Structure 1
Amino acid sequence: MAPYHAAARPTTPPNARAIKGLSVGFLAGTLLLSPLVMAQQTILEGERFHPQESAQGMVATSHFLASEVSRDVLAKGGNAVDAAVTAGFALAVTLIERLEESYAVQRLCSVFGVHRSSYRAWRNRNTVPSQEERALLQRIVDTHAASKGSAGARSIAKMVTQAGVPLSRYRAGKRMKRLGLASTQPPRHAYKKAMQPHLAIPNRLDRQFDVKTPNKAWTGDITYIWTGSRWAYLAVVIDLFSRKPVGWAMSPSPDTELVNKALMMAYESRHEPKSVLFHSDQGCQYTSLGFRQCLWRYQMTQSLSRRGNCWDNAPTERFFRSLKTEWVPATGYLDMAAAKQSITEYIISYYSCLRPHTHNDGLPPNAAETTYWNAQKAVAKNT
C-alpha cells in the first residue's frame, strides 16, 4: 500500500456518495483491519515524536483510510456496508477504550470518526451481568422490598453488608438506579430563614389555653406534608374552647395567602365572630402586612409566641402531631389532590366528629360544642 501524500490524494469514485459520511471506524472493521491498526500506530508515533504535527498526521491517515475503504466497499457491493458499519464501529470504540488512558477521548473519537456521544453510549451499554452480579441485584431488590420501599442506598448497603456481602453506599446507589428503585421516604424539609425584621407584638395569650367559650381565642400554625414530588403546606386555625379546627388551607407555598385563606374559612364558618384573640408563632406569614390587615378587617387581636418557644402554641402543635401519627401515611401522599381530600376527611369526619379529646373530657370537639350551646340555651330559657 502506497504511503499517503497530500498532493496525490486518491480520487473519489463516482458512486462514493453511497457511503458518504461513513467514518473509518464504521467501514474498516470487516474490510481493513490493518489500516485502523496503522491509524493507532500513527497516533502513537505522532504523539511521541512529533507532538506539533500529530493532529495533521491523524487527519491525513483518516483521509487515506477512508479512500482505501471506499474503493473496497463499493467493489464488494452494498451488503458489505452494513457489515462494515457494525463491525467497524465495534472495532473503533474498542481501540478508543484501550487508548483513552493515554490520549484524550475527544482526539481519539476524531481520528476514528466516532461521535463522542456514541462512544459514551457504548461505554454505558447494558451488558449481560455475571452470576455474581445477578445475585447482588436480586439481594438489593429483596432488601428494598423487605423495607416496603423505604430503604435508600445507605440503608440497603448496610443491610446487604451485614448479610455477608460487602456493598458500599455508592455501588448500591448505582444498582438501585439501574433497577429503577428509590426510597419512598420524604426528603428532609428545609426551613427558610426569615428576611424581614421582627415585629414587637406581645404574647397576649400567655399559655392560657383553657378557654371557657367558643370564638374567644384561636390559634394558628403551618406544617408540611409530602405530596409525591414536593412538599405541601397546611395552615390550620383551631378554636381553643373545644380544640376544633375551624379553618384550614393547603398550598405548595407557605406564604401569606395560605394563612389568609385558613383565617377566612374560620371567620366565615364561625359566622363572623368579633373580638377574637388570634395567636400564632412568629413566622413571617403571620407577621406579614397582608395577614395583619386581614386581622384588622375581621376586628381580631393578634398575639405572638415568644421566639423559639413552641410551647406557647402547644394545642396547635398537638393537633399536627395527631394528624401525622394517626392519619398521614409515613411516605406522604401521591399528589396534592389526594392530600387535600384525606386531610379534609380527617378534620371533618374523624377529628371533629368521632375522635375523643382529653381536653373535652373524652368528647369529640363537635360534641363538646353541642353540649356547651345546649347548656347556654337552657340557661337563657330559665332566665
Structure 2
Amino acid sequence: MKDGKLPKRQYTEEFKAEAVRLAASVGGLEAARRLGVPVATVGNWSRRGVASSGPGGGPAPGEAPARRPVSELEAENSRLRRELAEAKLDVEILRKGDGVLRQSVAMKYAWIDKHRDQYPVNRLCRVLGVSRSGYCQWRVRPPSSRALANQALDAEVAAIDQASRRSYGRPRIVQRLRQQGQMVGAERVRKRLRRQGLRPVYRRPFVVSTDSAHPLPVAANLLDRRFDGWQPDQAWVADITYVPTGEGWLYLAAVMDLAGRRIVGWSMSEAIDASLVCAALKSAWWQRKPDKGLLVHTDRGSQYASGRYRALAGDLDITMSMSRRANAWDNAPMESFFKTLKVERIYQVRYETRAQARLDIVDWIEGWDNRQRLHSANGLLAPVAWENACLAA
C-alpha cells in the first residue's frame, strides 16, 4: 500500500469464479460482504458465472415389538427383560448427565427440569441422588439474580462458540465478550464452558509434507524467522497444502502478509505444480500492488524453486527467501494458518467434490479468517480490523 491509500484491486479469474459460487450459495450481498468486494462487482461476475450444490438425507430406525409371555418361563424372561430395560434407561440417564453428577444440587434440578419430558421425574431424581420434594420446591422458587445472569451468560458463551465454528477457547471468548462490553472473568467463562460441555475442536499433530530433494537452485533464508514488526506489504510468506475430497486431492496455495496475518492471495488446483504457486502470487500482487523490494518467504519445494516462479518473482521485483532444509519452523506463520484451516474447518466436514471444497474454503478464508477470526498475533484483532487500525494510525 502506497502513501496510506488503497490501490485499485484486480482479481484473478479463479477468484471471480469462486465469488460467483459463493454468491449463488449465500446471496450476492452476503458474498460481497464476506469477500470485501463491491456488490455490483459480484453481480457483474454472477451474470457470467455458474455454481453447483448437492443434497443429502437419511432414514430413521425402528423398534422391536415386545413378546407376550405364555408360560412361567416366558413370564420370568419377560420380567428380566423389563429389569434390563430399566437398567439401560438408568445407564442412558447417567451417560447424558455425567457432567451434572459433579455439579451442585441446583444444577441437578435444572438438568432434571430440562429432561422431565423424556424420563420420569422419580427416576431422574433417584439416578442423580436428589429428593423429588426438593426438586418440586425448586420449581416453584423464583431464580436468583445471579442464576439469571449465569443463564444469560450461558447463552452468550454458546453463541460465541457457535459463531466461531467451535474454534475459540476460553481466552478468545473472554476477549469477544469484553469487546461486546461484558466485563467477565476468565474463571467464570471457564465454568460456563464446562457446564455446557463446550470445547474447541481437537488439534491434530503436525506432519511434514514438503519434498525439497531436487537439484533446482534455492534462495537464502533472508526472513530468518523475523515474523513480527513488519508494516503492511513488506514481507509475505507462502506455502501449499492439500485437501481431501471425494474426487481426489485439491491443492491450495496461499500467500500471507506477515504484518496483519491476512491471507492476501490464494489459488486452488487439481495439480500441485508451478502454475499453482504462480497463480497465488499473482492473485496477491494484483490485489495489493506492493512497493518494489517486497520480501516473499517460502519453503524450498520444487514449485517455489522452479524457473517459472523465479522468473515471475523477478518480473514483479520480489526478493525471494527460502527456509532451511526440513525446517518447518522457518515458515511457522503459514504452517500455523494451514493447521488452523484444517482443524477448525476441513476436518469437520467431508467434501464430496472439489467444487464444494473450493466454495467452502474461500468462504472460510475471506469471510471468516480475514474478517472475523481473532488472531493472537494481532492482539486478538481480525486481520482486516488490524489493517484498518494501522491505516487510521
Q: If the length of structure 2 is used for normalisation, what is the TM-score? A: 0.46
Larger-Rg structure = 1
- Of structures 1 and 2, the one scoring higher in RCO (CA 8 A, sep 6+) is 2
